[in-house]
Structure 1
Amino acid sequence: MTLPTGPPRGRLLRRGISASVSLALAVAGTAAAVVLSTAPAAQAAAVPAPSPIDVPGRGATVPFKEQEAEYAATNGSLIGPNRLYGTLPSEASGRQAVTLDAVGEYVEFTLTAPANAMSFRYSLPDNAAGTGRDATIDLRVNGTSLKSVPVTSKYGWYYGGYPFNNNPGDTNPHHFYDETRTMFGSTLAAGTKVRLQVSSTAASPTFTIDLADFEQVAAPIGKPSGALDVVSDFGADPSGAADSTAKIQAAVDAGRTQGKEVYIPQGTFQVRDHIIVDKVTLRGAGPWYSVLTGRDPSDRSKAVGVYGKYANAGGSSNVTLKDFAIMGDIRERVDNDQVNAIGGAMSNSVVDNVWMQHTKCGAWMDGPMDNFTIKNSRILDQTADGVNFHIGVTNSTVTNTFVRNTGDDGLAMWAENVPNVKNKFTFNTVILPILANNIVTYGGRDITISDNVMSDTITNGGGLHIANRYPGVNSGQGTAVSGTTTAARNTLIRAGNNDYNWRFGVGAIWFSGLNEPINATINITDSEVLDSSYAAIHLIEGATNGLHFNNVRIDGAGTYALQIQAPGTASFTNVTATHIAQSNPIHNCVGSGFQITQGAGNSGWYANPPACTGTWPDPVWTNGGVPGGPTDPPTDPPTDPPTDTGNLAQGRPVTESGHADVYGAANAVDGNPNTYWESTNNAFPGTVTVDLGASKAVKRVVLKLPPASAWTTRTQTLSVSGSTDNSSYSTLKASAGYTFNPASGNTATVTLDGTPTRYLRLTVTGNTGWPAAQLSELEAYTS
């Protein structure tokens, strides 16, 4: 859902955070870097950043183990961190990814648990016509090619203003990423190396890898006793060659009249219009095995979907949809088209373990309807909302569901003309809504939003939004926010972001009384707001009264802890804020129009007088260790901090000629002298290249080996060269022998003349202690 102005409604490491995550500030000169305080050093050139996966006690319990590409072994190029809207890293998980742009470049993951399947998130550049490109990437296991996996850009790359188009001639490119999945054919043991490698650049010049999810998929679920089979009983085609819409509909109708379950066996079934369900159970062999897909070849407003009858036709009830996937073919957003995976009205019904991908919305439910539940499901790569409870949806729930890369709100409730009452969004993980909010309720009475994880909002929205906003939401129809709204035990990470109508951005948690003031009880309790892109808490567009913040921890905000642009009332108890970018943590130009009542235990967020400025500060996005904001040039990686004191190489992107085992080049810039890079054995020369982010007058390079006495004295023969463009390199220090002696710290220093260089390269041609280059730290200084 979208409004015309303002925000729309509409050794590899695995990152994880506890339910109480701290962001520690590591100061390099004047630049502050937010890092996960308990995270070990990364093995690739990425900056450790809190992950939304596996937050104990919060979010969805997912069946996969996730690994970020930026922490994996790679000879590709790190992009990011960067939250600048319209750039490739801004839509990546954690705002970092790896780009592969040459044959042989790869990202290699090491399994942390047995797996027989993977999904991975990626981006290909669009083609000139805006119709997308198709390519393949080589999947290799322990160095041996297993298969070529098809990848495509046809489900991404939108342009222009809302409702967007596929015309690359327009501005505002976004929605860059997609996901695909594949099975290995056997179970791979923990420790197996799984590599995504470029075998050709003919179809796509680049492949950007964001992350991979590895899982152990259970065997197919057999047909329940007495169930009707859409293939053996009704002739549906599991090969996907023929249109099976009518045959599956006939099976569903028979299941309703006979009181029998309907079973979808293994296969891919062409479905080109809605399957209408009522008083029936439709179940499959599992979402990796039973797939409904398809779209009408001539009428593009018709596509695969499982729908209840609409309320004006009496609605549906007592429906169960379970254990299958709906994989659509929707490549654009046309709001009038009913091309959602699930829709209509379904009272007293359950959606359980359904995978929804490449449709307009995962589930757009039009009430009135009551007691509807979505659980244990995955919703990926939508052109609009993940879920929307629309018009008179009551006593309904989305729980334990994983949502990523929606084109609009992740999970939404919109009481347009009939009240939404007592609905719940609980224990969900909602990541990377490309537009609007992670979770929102537009109006609604006695709503609960609890135990969720929300992260990486892209633009025109925040993490959590509660609003009398969007058409039809008002007290005259009983659709406004009323009763008690409970938002408890939620974790928000890198939420809120730039709005291209509002220069000041949108807060991680924000409230709007645009249609009319909010007069309700809103309890925000026991929650964390981490590394917000702009303000942590934000009020705008009309009064919000009845806010109560209790036991809320704000750790990191790109601008303010509180941004108050509308009147209202709020109480704060045990609310703490740290690492706020502005020295004054509150922006408030409405003065006494916003009344604050303070209880005990508050710190870090209150100031009297607050800031009230005529201009808005650029946000400081610190998860990448580099201040950034809308005025910064959209370079990847972003430029260095404005000071050249300290080690310029630490944490910077790094490439290598190759490495042995798990001893990747990222170890040489991770600040940990006990980890090290070792080049491919018996393959001199070995090179390591660090991107300093901008040209620097480097005068000293300090090289280190691990300080342990087991590292006996050795001499390495090496030279240093530099480049401003990563193309033409000049010698900064001719080849010479440098001795590393554990008795003196296993350190060698190379002095340079200060020639400006951005790309600093070390070339090792010999080592008396081992048949490879070895280096635990490469440090660069301007003095």
Structure 2
Amino acid sequence: MTPPPRRRLLRRGISASLSATLALATAVAGTAAAVVMSAAPAAVAAGVPAPSPVGIPGRGATVPFVEHEAEYAATNGTLIGPNRLYGSLPSEASGRQAVTLDAVGEYVEFTLTRPANAMTFRYSLPDNSAGTGRDAGIDVRVNGNQLKNVPVTSKYGWYYGGYPFNNNPGDTNPHHFYDETRTMFGSTLATGTKVRLQVSSTAQSPTFTIDLADFEQVAAPIGKPSGALDVVADFGADPTGAADSTAKFQAAVAAGQAQNRTVYIPQGNFEIRDHIVVDKVTLAGAGPWYSVLKGRHPTDRSKAVGVYGKYANQGGSSDVTLKDFAIIGDIRERVDNDQVNAIGGALSNSVIDNIWMQHTKCGVWVDGPMNNLTIKNSRILDQTADGVNFHYGVTNSTVTNTFVRNTGDDGLAMWAENIPNVNNKFTFNTVILPILANNIVTYGGKDITISDNVMSDTITNGGGLHIANRYPGVNSGQGTAVSGTHTAARNTLIRAGNNDFNWQFGVGAVWFSGLNEPINNATINITDTEILDSSYAAIHLIEGATNGLNFKNIKIDGAGTYALQIQAPGRATFENVKATNIAQSNKIHNCVGAGFQITQVGGGNSGWYSNPPACTGVWPAPEWTNGGVPGGPVDPEDPTDPPTDPPTDPPGDEGNLAEGRPVTATGQAQTYGPGNAVDGNANTYWESTNNAFPQSITVDLGSAKNVDRLVLKLPPAAAWQTRTQTLSVSGSTNNSTYTSLKASAGVTFNPSSANTATVDLPGTSTRYVRVTVTGNTGWPAAQLSELEVYAD
């Protein structure tokens, strides 16, 4: 959501400084090239350590990639940051630092810690003088050898002026600098491979700023389901993207609904220039790296690729499944009236699963009334507005296990405009770098849950977690105000909050607003939460009273200004709230006096309370620590620390023999390939084809070992509830003849023991280890996040 129009001020000094910096970089690029080519400085890793939001045990989305930050990689480029000042290039980088390359031969080189056949990297190019963006390319080199030149562009970045923003470089307030692109290597690169992004020319762009790279092992394409209709073979859609396939897709979807058959999207890049309207149908692809919907109408810019349910006033849509494809649009501006979102309309009793959404206005903006939508296992990148917005009477709906980065507005939002939002949930999501507004927010709503998420690197005009009676149509008269019980549990916030460019003071990492009317009719429980390295205050109240707040088991480690910033009345209880590394010696800012009532419950509160609090006319400059460790070492007295995996290495120096080794399986679901079971990351997992037991996974140890133990894992998150898998273990020295190492038996995985189980074996000489699963009480498929093999 965007700020109210009444407070739109601009920071001209920042804009002028940034423009001057970019002009200087452009001017010197040509002369720097010769110097770098003749004697490039030694490559070093120069980043300032900062906690990462990716891969926090038990929290956030389980992602299929391993993330490498450019500032920690080998480079002969220039480190920029850390800097959180809005309008500066490093302020929008992950961890608020990146590497700029400004001469031929400069590079960032990543060393793979897991096998990978694909890469997504985040970068920034300077805008051109017309504001239309520039196109360039950057080399990908593998172990020093040229692999390919990957196109990069600034066309999806660089906005100016006040909301809703424009593409005029002469205006003030430049922002939204970064974009992402992806590429496949053509083969699997082994652990230890060096992958370099290197400048081969500065003719098209004077600088290339690299933020990070995500490396993953993309599974083989998913085949056509039995009995499915094929948009290419049966309806003539063009997989090359040369022809407009909108009508072909719509005809396929209509037939799928009429015949109750899945509609399959094979490999291809399909040109779609308007909404595909879906109802009572499944639209399934070969995987989001293979089946891509793209496009925009050549003359009517309000029409673009999107999959939409019918709107509620048209009866709405229901029983829709969208899965295993990508929607990558061509939206380069923000026009709020244009319906150019990846997915929209009303979708009741529906599922959005494993969809990649990029370069659209919003990833998913649904308008109710509607009920029971689940969005899961998806990626939402580089939007001009929200990642997801549940708008206007959305009920019993969920976003879970979804990764969101670089949205132009709120990352995940609920907006109960005029019609109540009830019983919605945002769980196990990772939301990073919203360029405007909040990581996760609910504007109004009843009985809302926001749990087990990671929120990181808020840029401006918002905080990490926001609960508010704000924006039109949110009021108790229509039943849309914050009410019932709001639960925000087990969330981790890193570098959240910002210096709002309208207000000119810090917005807290967790903040509350009663702008439309006080929050009086709700219980808001914030529990078991980490607030790390907040840019300004950790907890903040503003714009009208907020009552019914309860904070329990909160760890605050690092705040740029205050632990509590109180600018509105209210009531709150605090139990076992511990704060350290607060910049101001007086930990609370409060000029409303007794209007805000603090009740300390039980013991365990420390480091945040002050009486009297500070009340000054000048806001202090923030002091950023780049500190805090997500999860941290387990403290038995600190329930905010999520569990870490127990040590599994037995005595000896060989460790886990299976990690990074070649692995195969009899089947897999979607992107959950067998490589996830040997990648050393308990949060990624292999899952076999559903309802197809028996299923097996086989790892090649490279040479025969006296294997005496397996350690089997599922993701440690509590959402992976206790289950028993019936399995057996066999081994082979030649991958042909297998002998039994362990007879079939039930193996139980329990989150209380980090979903880890040990299977003892006889110590038989074995090169190929096979686990065969014939049953699972928790899911109709085999599931393993780690298959660890140990020898005596």
- Compute the TM-score of the two structures, normalised by the length of structure 2: 0.74
1:450 maps to 451
1:521 paired residue number: 523
2:102 match: 101
Q: Report matched runs for 1:758-773 at 5 Å.
A: none
Match of 1:595 in 2: 597
* In 2: Cα distance, 1:502 partner to 1:394 partner: 33
The match for 1:551 among 547, 550, 553 is 553
Give distance in 1, aligned partners of 2:569 and 2:626: 32
Gap change, CA 1:125 and 1:612, over 3 Å in 2: same
**Structure 1 residue 622 corresponds to structure 2 residue 659:** no
| Residue number in structure 1 paired with 2:401 | 400
2:579 aligned residue (577, 580, 592): 577
Matches within 5 A, 1:214-225: 214-225=215-226
Q: In structure 2, what is the Cα distance between the partners aligned to 1:273 and 1:504?
A: 42
Task: Indicate whether 1:57 and 2:58 are aligned.
Answer: yes
Written as runs of structure 1 = structure 2, the 5 A alignment for 1:350-749 is 350-519=351-520, 520-599=522-601, 600-623=603-626
State the alpha-carbon separation in 2 of the partners of residues 501 and 586 from structure 1. Answer: 23
Paired amino acid for 2:604: G
> What is the deviation of 1:456?
0.1
Contact 1:322 1:352 in 2 (8 A): yes
Q: What are the residue-to-residue correspondences of 1:273-352 with 2, within 5 Å? A: 273-352=274-353
Question: Does residue 5 of structure 2 align to residue 2 of structure 1?
Answer: no
Aligned to 1:777: none
Shift of 1:622: 2.4
8 Å CA contact 1:58–1:452 kept in 2: the answer is: yes
Q: Distance in 2 between matches of 1:48 and 1:99?
A: 18
Q: How does 1:135-214 map to 2 (within 5 A)?
A: 135-214=136-215
2:559 counterpart letter in structure 1: A
| CA displacement at 1:118 relative to structure 2 | 0.2
Change (3 A) 1:503 1:99: same
Specify every segment of 5 or more residues in structure 2 that has no aligned partner in the other structure, as ranges.
9-42, 629-792
Task: Report the Cα distance in structure 2 between the residues aligned to 1:109 and 1:196, rounded to whole angstroms.
Answer: 8
SS at match of 2:506: coil
Aligned pairs, number: 592
Listed one character per residue, the Cα deviations across residues 150-206 of structure 1 (whole Å, up to 9, x for unaligned) are: 000000000000000000000000000000000000000000000000000000000
Once the 2 structures are TM-superposed, how far is the Cα of residue 3 of structure 1 from its aligned partner?
2.7
Counterpart AA for 2:247: A
1:118 partner SS: strand
Aligned residue in 1 for 2:757: none
Is 1:122 the counterpart of 2:119? The answer is no
Which residue in the other structure is 2:271 paired with?
270
Tell me how far 1:620 sits from its aligned partner.
1.0
CA distance, structure 1, for counterparts of residue 277 and residue 426 of structure 2: 26
Does the 8 Å contact 1:156/1:177 carry over to 2? yes
After superposition, the CA RMSD in angstroms is 1.2
CA gap of 1:449–1:205, structure 2 versus 1, over 3 A, is same
Greater relative CO, 1 or 2 (CA 8 Å, sep 6+): 1
Helix, strand or coil at the partner of 2:507:
coil
- SS of match in other structure, 2:499: coil
Judged with a 3 Å threshold, the aligned counterparts in structure 2 of structure 1 residues 6 and 522 are, in CA distance, closer, same or farther, namely farther
What corresponds to 1:86 in structure 2? 87
* 1:292-321 superposed Cα distances (whole Å, 9 cap, x missing partner): 000000000000000000000000000000
Contact 2:556–2:578 (Cα < 8 Å) also in 1 = yes
Distance apart, 1:615 and its partner CA: 1.0
* Inter-partner Cα distance in structure 1 for 2:5 and 2:133: 29
What do the CA deviations read for 1:9-67 (whole angstroms, capped 9, x no partner)?
xxxxxxxxxxxxxxxxxxxxxxxxxxxxxxxxx96111110000000000000000000
Which one-letter code corresponds to 1:544 in the other structure? T
Look up the SS of the partner of 1:351 in the other structure.
strand
Q: How many angstroms does 1:502 deviate by?
A: 1.1
- SS of 1:483's equivalent in the other structure is strand
Shift of residue 624, structure 1, vs aligned partner:
8.8
Q: Distance in 2 between matches of 1:522 and 1:6?
A: 28
Decide whether aligned partners of structure 1 residues 43 and 549 sit closer, same or farther in structure 2, where only a CA change above 3 A counts.
Answer: farther
CA contact (8 A) 1:5 1:501 kept: no
Counterpart residue type for residue 414 of structure 1: W
- Residues 558, 627 of structure 2: 8 Å contact kept: no
Aligned 8 A contact 1:465 1:509 in 2: yes
Letter in 2 for 1:523: N
Q: Does structure 2 conserve the Cα–Cα contact (< 8 Å) formed by 1:82 and 1:624? A: no
- The one-letter code of the counterpart of 2:61 is A
Instruction: Report the Cα distance in structure 2 between the residues aligned to 1:191 and 1:617, rounded to whole angstroms.
Output: 46
Q: Distance in 1 between matches of 2:93 and 2:311?
A: 37
Q: Is the 8 A contact 2:61 2:402 kept in 1?
A: yes
> How many angstroms does 1:614 deviate by?
1.1
2:37 corresponds in structure 1 to: none
* 1:6–1:460 Cα contact (<8 Å) kept: no
Letter in 2 for 1:608: N
> 2:620 & 2:506 partners in 1: Cα distance?
10
TM-score with structure 1 length normalisation? 0.75
Q: Is the 8 A contact 1:47 1:624 kept in 2?
A: no
SS of match in other structure, 1:246: helix
Opposite residue 275 of structure 2, the aligned amino acid is H
AA at the equivalent of 2:612: P
Consecutive unaligned residues in structure 1, runs of 5 or more: 9-41, 626-783
Kindly tell me: are residues 7 and 216 of structure 1, through their superposed partners in 2, closer, same or farther at Cα, counting changes over 3 Å? farther
| Greater CA drift, 497-506 or 95-104 | 497-506
Counterpart of 1:235?
236
Q: CA deviation at 1:5?
A: 4.7
> Deviation at 1:613?
0.5
Distance in 2 of aligned mates of 1:535 and 1:43: 34
Query: How far does residue 623 in structure 1 lie from its aligned partner after superposition?
Result: 1.8
Deviations 1:110-140 (A, max 9, x none): 0001000000000000000000000000000
| Corresponding letter in the other structure for 2:200 | S
Contact 2:587–2:610 (8 Å) recurs in 1: yes
State the 1:4 CA deviation. Answer: 2.8
Q: What is the SS of the residue equivalent to 2:598? A: strand
Are the aligned partners of 1:528 and 1:553 in contact in 2 as well (CA < 8 Å)? yes
Could you tell me which amino acid in structure 2 is paired with residue 567 of structure 1?
Answer: P
**SS class of match (1:252):** helix
Map of 1:33 onto structure 2 = none
Query: 1:462 touches 1:495 (CA, 8 Å); kept in 2?
Result: yes
d(CA) in 2 for partners of 1:534, 1:525: 21
- Structure 1 runs of 4+ with >2 Å offset: 3-8
Q: Secondary structure at the match of 1:485?
A: strand
